[in-house]
Amino acid sequence: MGLYLIGDVQGCDAALGRLLDAAAFSPSRDRLVVLGDLVNRGPDSLAVLRRLMALGDAAEALLGNHDLHLLALSQGVRRPHRLDTVGDILAAPDRAALLDWLRQRPLALCERGVLMVHAGVLPSWTAARTLALAGEVEAVLRGADWAGFLHQMYGNQPDRWRDDLQGADRLRVIVNALTRLRFCTADGRMEFDTKEGGATAAPPGYLPWFDVPGRRTARDVVAFGHWSTLGWLGRPDLIALDTGCVWGGCLSAARLGATPHERALIQVRCEQAQVPGRSA
């Protein structure tokens, strides 16, 4: 069975279809995990959700910041951004089923020895702790008061993890780390203002989360998306798969072999190019 990890699709359904064809993906034989940001900014977010739902158990998807934004829009928690392209989902006759499927998705996953998140992992978290903390948010999103949680989800504070955090503050830090993180300090203070540039764009005193000395997932393989200006990164301990499909780049998949270090990169060019007003 092939395991394929795919970076940020962001509504580029045509590219997703071509990538699955290029990989000779078979839902009867293979498994697919999209690393978050299934929707938004691209031309056909509705088709992406319907495609992934139709694949059933052959496909999984993590929640990214754009996916959470869609859920927040659906509940009136957020106002539409001028670049949003999720109106087709909100107006769809199967809207309720689509949103229910989306809010059931995980924020972190581990398969074949690879820890998968949308954005990043704080230096003090082990892989097991990351999965457990993600599970706390997942339980709320799958519960009866998921809309109430969305009203408290947004904000940059607290900007670092503490074990004694509780309630909305605790869940907000977890969400921000897993769906928004790029740079942090050695002691885990997160920075969210810097969105352009790659790993060398870190503000003074900050590092890419994956280069923090002593991070507790350094011996694990971590796969993530979210960072289109970082692009493809295939280190022994990292698989970065957001290659800017929606911005006119590529949509990328990593096919994992029997071990996390056996990988093949598959890419297709994307015709979508939404560069003006670019925002992550």
- Quick: pLDDT tens for 145-158: 999 999 999 999 99
Q: How confident is the model at residue 260 (pLDDT cuts 50, 70, 90)?
A: confident
Top-confidence residue, 274 or 166: 166
Over range 196-223, report the average pLDDT: 95
Q: How confident is the model at residue 240 (pLDDT cuts 50, 70, 90)?
A: very high
pLDDT tens string 8-39: 999 999 999 999 999 999 999 999 999 999 99
Q: How confident is the model at residue 1 (pLDDT cuts 50, 70, 90)?
A: confident
Over range 274-279, report the average pLDDT: 48
- The gap from C-alpha 164 to its chain's centroid, in whole angstroms, comes to 26
pLDDT confidence of residue 109 = 98
pLDDT confidence of residue 161 = 98
How many percent of the chain have pLDDT more than 70? Answer: 97
Residue 276 has pLDDT above 50, yes or no: no
Per residue, the 3-state secondary structure of the chain, as one string, reads CCEEEECCCCCCHHHHHHHHHHCCCCCCCCEEEECCCCCCCCCCHHHHHHHHHHCHHHEEECCCHHHHHHHHHHCCCCCCCCCCCCHHHHCCCCHHHHHHHHHCCCCEEEECCEEEECCCCCCCCCHHHHHHHHHHHHHHHCCCCHHHHHHHHCCCCCCCCCCCCCHHHHHHHHHHHHHHCCEECCCCCEECCCCCCCHHHCCCCCEEHHHCCCCCCCCCEEEECCCCCCCCECCCCEEECCCCCCECCEEEEEEECCCCCCEEEEEEECCCECCCCCCC
State which CATH number among 3.40.640.10, 3.60.21.10, 3.40.50.2300, 3.20.20.140 fits the domain covering 3-269: 3.60.21.10
pLDDT confidence of residue 274 = 54
Q: Using an 8 Å Cβ cutoff, are 118 and 37 in contact?
A: yes
* Alpha carbons 196 and 215: distance in angstroms, whole number: 24
pLDDT confidence of residue 177 = 98
pLDDT tens string 144-202: 999 999 999 999 999 999 999 999 999 999 999 999 999 999 999 999 999 888 999 99
pLDDT confidence of residue 210 = 98
Give the number of C-alpha atoms closer than 13 A to the C-alpha of residue 228, restricted to the C-beta side: 20
Q: What is the pTM of this model?
A: 0.95
pLDDT confidence of residue 175 = 98
pLDDT confidence of residue 195 = 86
pLDDT confidence of residue 272 = 61
Q: Where are the domains of the chain?
A: 3-269
Ramachandran bin of 227, using left for φ above 0, alpha for ψ from -120 to 50, beta for the remaining angles: beta
Residue 112 has pLDDT above 90, yes or no: yes
